C-alpha cells in the first residue's frame, strides 16, 4: 500500500524520461501579424518567423499517468541566433491524465499548462474536428480536411518537421522560476532561468490537409490575440514515441523583466484581481 513516505528504491523512477507515446491528432500552422507576435516573445529569445504553430492531440500512452488531450499554440524562435525551437504561449489539457501532466510539466520545466473544461477531438474518414472549451467559453475550433494544404509553398517546411519513421529532435523554450514571499506578504518571481527541453519523436504517419481555424479570447485565455491572418495548412499525424530526454539550463533571466510574460499562460487573472474571477460549478 502507498505511504506518505515513498520507498527510496522507487525515487529513481520519478519522471524518468517522461514520454508522450501513441500521440495522435491535428497539427497546424498559420501566418500572423509579425509585429504583434514579436512583442509577445521575451528576451533573450527572438522571433524566427511570423508563423504560429499548434496542435490538438490525444496522448494515448504517457509514461507518467493516464491518457489525456492537449492543445497548444507556439511561435518559432531562436536563442543567440543559433538554437532554434518552439516557444509555447499556452497548453490546455483535459482528460484522466491531465492533472498529472500539468503538474509534471509546470514543476519540471515551467511549462505554461492549465486545465481545460473540455477538449474534443474527432475524426470521420477524411475530415477531423477539434474544439477547446474553458470557463464555459469555446477558445479554439479547428477543422482538417485531407488533401492539399492551404498554402502549397509551405508544404516542404511542414513535411520537414515530421519526416516519417525517423527520430527527430525538437527543442522547446520555457522559463523556470521560484515564487518567493517577502516580509510584507507580497509574492514575487525569483531565480528565473531560460531552459530548453529536448525531445526525440518518431512520426509514423502524416496526412496533409486544409486548415480551418477559429480562435477566441476570454479574460483568462487570450488565444484570439494570436490572430489568424492566413491559414497555411494542417496535418493529421501520429507519433509512435515522443520522449523528453533532457532539460538544459541556458541563462539566468531578470525576474522583474520577465514577470509580465509568466502570468497568463500559467495562472488565471483572479490571481492578480479577484474581481476578474470566472468559473462554473
Structural contact between residues 208 and 232, judged by C-beta atoms closer than 8 angstroms: no
The pLDDT value recorded for residue 251 is 97
The pLDDT value recorded for residue 158 is 82
d(CA 59, CA 97): 9
- The answer for 119, left when phi > 0, alpha when psi is -120 to 50, beta otherwise, is beta
- Per DSSP, the residues of 26-91 read EEEEEE--HHHHHHTSPTTEEEEEEEEEEEEEEEEEETTSS-EEEEEEEEEEEETTTEEEEEEEEE
Instruction: Please list the rounded mean pLDDT of every run of 10 residues in the chain (281 residues).
Output: 90 87 97 98 98 98 95 98 96 97 90 98 98 97 98 88 92 96 95 96 96 98 98 97 92 97 96 79 71
Residue with cell 477524411: 126
What residues does each domain of the chain span?
17-167+202-243
The pLDDT value recorded for residue 16 is 85
pTM > 0.85: yes or no: yes
The pLDDT value recorded for residue 277 is 73
The pLDDT value recorded for residue 276 is 75
The pLDDT value recorded for residue 68 is 98
* CATH topology classification for 17-167+202-243: Acetoacetate decarboxylase-like (2.40.400)
Structural contact between residues 158 and 233, judged by C-beta atoms closer than 8 angstroms: yes
The pLDDT value recorded for residue 144 is 99
What cell numbers appear for 112 in the block?
A: 505554461
The pLDDT value recorded for residue 117 is 97
Amino acid at each position: 500500500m502507498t505511504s506518505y513516505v515513498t520507498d527510496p528504491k522507487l525515487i529513481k523512477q520519478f519522471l524518468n524520461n517522461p514520454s508522450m507515446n501513441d500521440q495522435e491528432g491535428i497539427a497546424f500552422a498559420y501566418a500572423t501579424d509579425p509585429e504583434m507576435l514579436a512583442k509577445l516573445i521575451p528576451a533573450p529569445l527572438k522571433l524566427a518567423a511570423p508563423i504560429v504553430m499548434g496542435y490538438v492531440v490525444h496522448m494515448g500512452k504517457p509514461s507518467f499517468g493516464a491518457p489525456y488531450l492537449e492543445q497548444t499554440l507556439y511561435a518559432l524562435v531562436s536563442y543567440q541566433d543559433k538554437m532554434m525551437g518552439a516557444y509555447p504561449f499556452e497548453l490546455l489539457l483535459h482528460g484522466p491524465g491531465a492533472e498529472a501532466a500539468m503538474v509534471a510539466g509546470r514543476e519540471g520545466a515551467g511549462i505554461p499548462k492549465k486545465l481545460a473544461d473540455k477538449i474534443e477531438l474527432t475524426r470521420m474518414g477524411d475530415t477531423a474536428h477539434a474544439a477547446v472549451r474553458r470557463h464555459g467559453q469555446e477558445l479554439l475550433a479547428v477543422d482538417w480536411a485531407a488533401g492539399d494544404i492551404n498554402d502549397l509553398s509551405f508544404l516542404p517546411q511542414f513535411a520537414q518537421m515530421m519526416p516519417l519513421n525517423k527520430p527527430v529532435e525538437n527543442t522547446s523554450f520555457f522559463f523556470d522560476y521560484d515564487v518567493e514571499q517577502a516580509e510584507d506578504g507580497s509574492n514575487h518571481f525569483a531565480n528565473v532561468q531560460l531552459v530548453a527541453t529536448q525531445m526525440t519523436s518518431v512520426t509514423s504517419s502524416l496526412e496533409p490537409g486544409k486548415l480551418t481555424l477559429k480562435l477566441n479570447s476570454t479574460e483568462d485565455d487570450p488565444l484570439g490575440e494570436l490572430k489568424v491572418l492566413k491559414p497555411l495548412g494542417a496535418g493529421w499525424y501520429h507519433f509512435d514515441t515522443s520522449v523528453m530526454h533532457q532539460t538544459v539550463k541556458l541563462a539566468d533571466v531578470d525576474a522583474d523583466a520577465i514577470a509580465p510574460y509568466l502570468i497568463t499562460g500559467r495562472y488565471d487573472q483572479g490571481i492578480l484581481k479577484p474581481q476578474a474571477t470566472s468559473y462554473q460549478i
